[in-house]
Amino acid sequence: MHDPRRTTRHRRILIAASLAALLPTAGWASGFYLQEQSARGTGRAYSGEAADQGPASLWWNPASIAGLDHSELDSSLTGVQLWSKSRDQGSTIQRAGRVGAEGSDNIESNVISNGIVPAGAGALRLGARWAVGLSVTAPFNFATQYGSASWTRYAALTSRVQTIDIQPTLAWRPTSWLGLGGGPNIEHVLAALSSALPNLSASQPDGITTLHGTGWNAGYNLGLQLHLLDDRLIFGAAYRSRIVHEVDGTFDVAGLQGYLAGQNGHSHAQAGFTTPWAATFGIRYRATKNLTLDAQLVRTGWSEFDAVRITQPVSSISPQNYHDVTSGAIGLDYVVTPAWSLRTGVQFDPTPSPDTNRDPNIPDGDRWMFGLGTSVAITRQLTIDASALYLDIAPSRINRDASAYGGTPLSTPVQLHGTVGSNSLVLALATRLVF
């Protein structure tokens, strides 16, 4: 006799398995934490931002506007060009009731999407000691797109994640040698993610599962700057808190046939995850009248991103197991003439993602960054910043269990084995207006 309770239980298990395959893409990995919040910083590979002054450095240190002798607006536009290739290395699927596993042999190019990153910041001077500021940045953005027959399809078809961070800031310069600042980070997240689901017969086209969601959440940031040796030496330190995100949206399953057809449908979805804290330390030392040396260390608490927690339509946890990392950068600024300056820098940024069970939606590897930039003062009030940055990214190994329908008689083991490699060129242009 048909037991409706058993059917309902199986449907819940199938939905949970589908979400588990899809939602690891919501892991906001270091692979798409974008440092491109300042064209000036891009030119020196983000080697001195916590110790620099002006609203362009607000993302790194809210004390950067303490004690300004003017008000200032900074707006930038950054283009990110990527070259990427994914290569299958023995992925398999074992369909329920069939003898032997199906393999694949698949190579795809340009699976990581290009993008444009806008950023803007301003500071209003309130006397000699106080200033207020506001920055609007896009710190976590990424998109990947694999083909419908890709070896990655049961874990990843498309992913698109966009964030907007709004940071109001209050800064104070109580003495000539100390600057303080702080404020909230108000962040909006938009996610659109999809993956394929296998039907029981290889002759049937795959089903598809999609998730769309948005959320508003908040954290905070605090910072200080020490101005020493008549401002020849500036030390900056800042802390940006983690943000616990709650995403609310919809979950859809379509295209499943036969016994699986009962899983097709539309559901309300909720998920939670945490983006990391960051502790940033920077130094700028004016060695000569024309030459300034830069250095920066950032400790990022990616262990906060330990799992994606799903609460609707069913409760489940998708472990991520990221680890904390430390990035380091050095650079320099050189004043050629009073109206023209150059800068350069290099940074090493290790990946926080584990080598085992890495997700193909966010293929991430250790990276070296090499930056070069210039600034030209058009007038006494207007300066143009232009920069280029090359990223050499180590190939990512994908070894992931993307099994479908686990815990039911229709369990379909999927083993993904492959690599995703990429390199990137970043071009940034900004205007700085003082008044």
Query: Among 157, 112, 124, 116, which residue's Cα sits nearest to residue 58?
Result: 124
> 278-331: per-residue pLDDT in tens?
999 999 999 999 999 999 999 999 888 777 777 777 766 776 778 899 999 999
Cα 38–39–42 angle (5° rounding)? 90
Lowest mean pLDDT among 150-154, 279-283, 284-288, 405-409: 405-409
Neighbour-count burial of 435, counting CB atoms closer than 10 A to its CB (0-12 exposed, 13-18 middle, 19+ buried):
exposed
Mean pLDDT to the nearest integer, 390-408: 84
Report whether CATH 1.10.3470.10 matches the domain 4-434. no
What are the contacts of 172-178 at 24+ separation with CB within 8 A?
A: 172/66, 172/129, 172/130, 173/66, 173/67, 173/128, 173/129, 173/130, 174/129, 176/227, 177/226, 177/227, 177/228, 178/224, 178/225, 178/226, 178/227
Residues pairing with 347 in the sheet: 329, 369
Q: Which helix (H) or strand (E) segment is 166 a member of? A: strand 158-175
Mean pLDDT over 9-25 rounds to 49
Residue 21, Cα to own-chain centre: how many angstroms? 20
146-172 residues labelled b (16+ CB within 10 A) or e (exposed): beeebbbbbbbbbbbbbbbbbbebbbb
**Predicted confidence (pLDDT) at residue 260 exceeds the cutoff of 80:** yes
Task: Select from 24, 106, 120, 29 the least CA-distant residue to 400.
Answer: 24
The pLDDT, as a whole number, for residue 27 is 33
Question: 105 pLDDT exceeds 70?
Answer: no
Residues 14, 406: Cα–Cα separation, whole Å: 8
Mean pLDDT, the chain, rounded, equals 87
- Cα separation, 259 vs 280, whole angstroms: 54
pLDDT band for position 110 (50/70/90)? confident
Cα separation, 246 vs 259, whole angstroms: 33
Is pLDDT of 192 > 80? yes
What pLDDT, in 10s, does the model give residues 317-368? Answer: 776 778 899 999 999 999 999 999 999 999 999 988 877 777 777 777 899 9
- Residue 63's region, left for phi above 0, alpha for psi from -120 to 50, else beta, is alpha
Pick the residue with more confidence: 430 or 106?
A: 430
Q: Domains of the chain: which residue ranges?
A: 4-434
Using the 8-state DSSP alphabet, how is residue 112 labeled?
B
Picking from 81, 15, 106, 95, the residue whose alpha carbon sits closest to that of residue 360 is: 106
pLDDT at position 101 is 60
Residue 233 pLDDT exceeds 60 = yes
- Percent of the chain exceeding pLDDT 70 equals 89
pLDDT digits (tens, 9 = 90+) for 52-68: 999 999 999 999 999 99
What is the structure's pLDDT at 384? 98
Say what the pLDDT of residue 409 is. Answer: 81
CA diameter of the chain? 88
Pairing of strands 178-197, 158-175: antiparallel
What mean pLDDT is predicted for residues 393-414? 83
Q: How confident is the model at residue 256 (pLDDT cuts 50, 70, 90)?
A: very high
